[in-house]
Amino acid sequence: MSDDIVTGNKALVAQSIEVLWNQGALDRAGEFLAANVRRHHERDPDADLHGLEVVRDRLANLRRARPDSRVEIVRMFGEGDRVMVHLRSQGGGLVWTVTAFARVADGRIAEFWLIADTLGLLQQQGSVRRFA
């Protein structure tokens, strides 16, 4: 795959984060996500999300839970049709990181995987004790 395609895939992922999450323009999800997009659950394949509407609804629910959160790209790598992005997010007095992997097909995100720092969030909320 050419460097131009990888660069374009990385730009697509970066723009989707800015538009869909930071701007909250979920009505534009079809510009970035394939109609049959699949969000893979990190622990339970039965909890995967299938389809643009379902993924958009999940994003809307997450944004409602943390309406003031902002996501910044810390680093991004691309190879072939895959993009890996390390994100830092702040909102609701919390700071957390997420590592995301996306597969791009036909100019849209066709699949993605998210690995969130759930332990860090639970520690900040006081649900889990911090260890030195």
Per-position pLDDT tens, the chain of length 132: 689 999 999 999 999 999 999 999 999 999 999 999 999 988 888 889 999 999 999 999 989 988 899 999 999 999 999 999 999 999 888 899 999 999 999 999 999 999 989 888 889 888 988 876
User: For residue 16, which phi and psi values (nearest 5 degrees)?
Assistant: -65, -40
* pLDDT for res 50: 95
Alpha helices in the chain (DSSP H): 3-16, 52-65, 118-124
Helices (H) and strands (E) in the chain, counts: 3, 6
pLDDT for the residue 103: 98
Beta-carbon contacts of 2 under 8 Å, excluding residues fewer than 6 positions away, are none
Dihedral sign of CA atoms 62, 67, 68, 73 in order: positive
Q: What is the pTM of this model?
A: 0.91
* 114-117 own/partner pairs: CB under 8 Å, 24+ apart: 114/39, 114/42, 115/42, 116/42
Where are the chain's structural domains? 3-124
Domain 3-124 has CATH 3.40.50.720: no
Q: Note the pLDDT of residue 51.
A: 96
